[in-house]
Amino acid sequence: MFTFEVVAGAAVRQQLDENRGEVVDMVQSAYQHHQAGETINPDSYFLRFPEKPDSRIIALPALLRGDVQLAGIKWIASFPKNVAAGRPRASAVLILNDYETGYPIACLEAANISAARTAASAAVAARALRPGGLVGGRVAVVGGGVIARNICEYLHVVGCRPDTYVVHDIHEASGESLVAHLQSQGRAAKFSPALDEALDADIVVFATTALEPYVTRQFRPGQLVLNVSLRDLAPETVLGAHNILDDVDHCLKANTSPHLAEQLTGNRDFVTGTLADVLNGDVTVDDSKPVIFSPFGLGVLDIAVGAYVLDRARAAGQATDIPGFFGETSRW
């Protein structure tokens, strides 16, 4: 009961990289548990800094019942200026708590967990929402960072085999790095300095740090847009599509593109449904419009993936016990 374990980043990344298919399954299951009311997922809390308006640290608390029976909180920092110094933009830890006693049981390095669950959610959406399938055509990735790299890996897991990847980034070196990574995996890829070329692809992935919309054009029927970074699209662009969200209340806040669409129209009629609605067969989309998937990012996904990584790390002897972590183990 009084055991507390730490799982370091190298072990977390190894378990995630070796078990991507299982991570996809965990994320899909977590969405369905959330839809069924088997979770508690409060609003995220944003710690912002007046002198650093582009930076923030976010707390995502959540409870996942079902087979997991764990609560927890992800504490994740996003400091975009790290990129210029060659450091990753995001860093994070995940604390897991036993639901019966409330005691924390583990701390895991969680930047990798966060990237994996984000990428897996995009892959689950692509598999469920792409009317024309995932083989052939072009996949465009706007933004060439860690999240983009992970999304490409998880798209591959669910059978995405485009003829080519088109990468666009205003920071050309980042875009070229993603291209080189994809090519090293035997996948055709090229960098394009033209945003419009990327926006013409069959599947368009947004994985940027944009704070406000810059894409004002409409997508064509049949295109799938994975709006992972949430703020790239003008509200008029959102209104011209089928819109699938991860959670309606969570996504329609903080001036995300769907939130701007709600502010513009004064209603939520443009929301087609949630990803879990699609997975459960309660909502279908056709190719009469483009499909935009906008995931705000749910803490229950971090709990699901973190619990899985902890189990795998324990089995591999990679979870480090911290003796005497709790200062008192009895009331008297």
Sequential pLDDT tens for the chain (332 residues): 789 999 999 999 999 999 999 999 999 999 999 999 999 999 999 999 999 998 999 999 999 998 899 999 999 999 989 988 888 889 999 999 999 999 999 999 999 999 999 999 999 999 999 867 899 999 999 999 999 999 999 999 999 999 999 999 999 999 999 999 999 999 999 999 999 999 999 999 999 989 899 999 999 999 999 999 999 999 999 999 999 999 999 999 999 999 999 999 999 999 999 999 999 999 999 989 999 999 999 999 999 999 999 999 999 999 999 999 999 889 89
| Cα–Cα distance list, 85 to 77, 79, 80, 81, 259 (Å) | 16, 11, 10, 7, 33
Could you give the domains of the chain? 5-113+299-321 (3.30.1780.10), 123-294 (3.40.50.720)
Selection from 1, 261, 26 nearest residue 121 by Cα: 26
> What integer pLDDT is reported at residue 20 of this predicted model?
98
Cα separation, 304 vs 38, whole angstroms: 12
